[in-house]
Amino acid sequence: MNRPALIIDCDPGVDDAVALLLAFAAPALDLLAITTVAGNAPGHATQRNARMMRQIAGRADVPVFGGAERPMKRPPAGAGEFHGPEGLGDLEPFEPAAIVGDGPAANAIVDLVMRRPEGTVSLAVLGPMTNLALAMRREPRLAGRLGPVAVMGGARAEGGNITASAEFNIWADPDAAAVVFGSGCEVVAFGLDATHQVRATEARIRAIEAVDSEAARTAAAMLRFSQRVEREIVGWPTPDWGAPLHDACPVAWAMAPALFDLRPCRIEVETQSDLTRGHTAVEFRVDPATARHRWAVGADAQGVFDLIARTLEEAAR
The whole-angstrom distance between residue 313's C-alpha and the CA centroid of its chain comes to: 22
The type of residue at 286 is V
Beta-carbon contacts of 21 under 8 Å, excluding residues fewer than 6 positions away, are 53, 56, 57, 215, 216, 218, 219, 312
Which residue blocks in the chain are alpha helix, DSSP H? 14-25, 43-57, 80-83, 105-114, 130-138, 142-145, 168-172, 174-181, 192-195, 202-209, 214-229, 248-255, 301-316
d(CA 20, CA 29): 12
Q: Work out the average pLDDT over 58-69.
A: 97
Q: Tell me which DSSP letter residue 30 carries.
A: E
Say if residue 78's pLDDT is above 80: no
Nearest 5 degrees, angle CA 138-CA 291-CA 143? 15
Q: How far is CA 48 from the centre of its chain?
A: 17
Q: Is 83 a catalytic residue?
A: no
In order, the DSSP letters of 146-202 are ---EEEE---STT--SSSSSB-HHHHH-HHHHHHHHTSSS-EEEE-HHHHTT-EE-H
Catalytic residue selected from 83, 196, 246, 293: 246
- The answer to whether residues 269 and 174 touch, using CB atoms and an 8 Å cutoff, is yes
Q: What is the CATH number of the domain that holds 84?
A: 3.90.245.10
When pLDDT is cut at 50, 70 and 90, the band that residue 1 belongs to is very low
Task: Determine contact, residues 305/207, Cβ cutoff 8 Å.
Answer: yes
Read off the pLDDT band of 240 (50, 70, 90).
confident
10-189-227 Cα angle (round to 5): 60
Range of the domain at 223: 5-316
Number of domains in the chain: 1
In this prediction, what percent of the chain has a pLDDT beyond 70? Answer: 99
- The Cα–Cα gap between 190 and 317 comes to 31
Task: Count other Cβ atoms within 10 Å, centred on residue 63.
Answer: 19
168-210 per-position pLDDT tens digit: 999 999 999 999 999 999 999 999 999 999 999 999 999 999 9
Each residue of 252-290: pLDDT tens digit?
A: 999 999 999 999 999 999 999 999 999 999 999 999 999
Q: Are 263 and 32 in contact (CB under 8 A)?
A: no
The arrangement of strands across the sheet holding 280-283 comes to 64-66, 30-36, 5-10, 121-125, 149-152, 187-190, 293-299, 260-269, 280-283
DSSP secondary-structure letter at 117?
-
